[in-house]
Amino acid sequence: MLTKITIPVPDTENGKFEFEGKLTREDFANMSYNQFLSTNNDMNRFTYNISHGISNVGGRMRDYQEKQNAESFAEVTYNFHEAEVFIQNAKKKDIDEDFLLDHIDKGDMFILILNINPNTLNGDAESELRFWISDSLGVHNDSEIDDKTKLKMLPTRWFFLNVGRKRAVIENCKILQNYSSRKFPFNFAIIVEKITFEK
């Protein structure tokens, strides 16, 4: 099945970045990493709420904050980037819309293989995917963690998929297997907690 996937990416260009004082390289690296972790958690929470109709999909965190009065959220905005994706099932067989509609009806967990066309990716979306793949591989390659714990530790993402004339949300996606190559750099199997239509 060839369709469109929408990838949420934090907007790091339009924020206010002010700091008074002196920073060492180590201090800056620690601040950057802590901000990444905070933004990553915010993105997961934000896209979860979008998928459940809590906020409109305008890409603005500010609207969401006002509605929820969530003081714990940073002042972050999001951009949504659409790309072309080829989708298969766990057996590497082509799927159709009925496959996704069946899982929407069941509300169950299932596996998809995504092959995102790199020629249709925005640079920011590409970076976001590379971070997600890299973080996932870090968990998979840790020999001291058992498989059950690895599955719990894998970083999650939420995406939108075009299903016919509607848009669906694939929730709590985790990379199970990386099939990426030079020719297909964004080809991987994911486990999807569930798929729902956007509200």
Residues 35, 97: Cα–Cα separation, whole Å: 38
pLDDT for position 70: 45
pLDDT for position 69: 45
Q: What is the pTM of this model?
A: 0.70
Mean pLDDT by 10 residues, the chain (199 residues): 93 60 68 66 63 52 47 64 97 96 96 98 95 95 93 94 95 96 96 94
pLDDT for position 156: 95
Q: Which sign, positive or negative, has the C-alpha torsion 160, 165, 166, 172?
A: negative
pLDDT for position 59: 47
Token reading at 21: 């004082």
pLDDT for position 135: 95
Residues 136, 132: Cα–Cα separation, whole Å: 6
pLDDT for position 131: 95
Ordered by start, the domain boundaries in the chain are: 2-197
pLDDT for position 75: 59
Residues 114, 91: Cα–Cα separation, whole Å: 12
| 36 φ, ψ (degrees, to nearest 5) | -60, -45
* Whether the Cβ atoms of residue 82 and residue 9 lie closer than 8 Å to each other: no
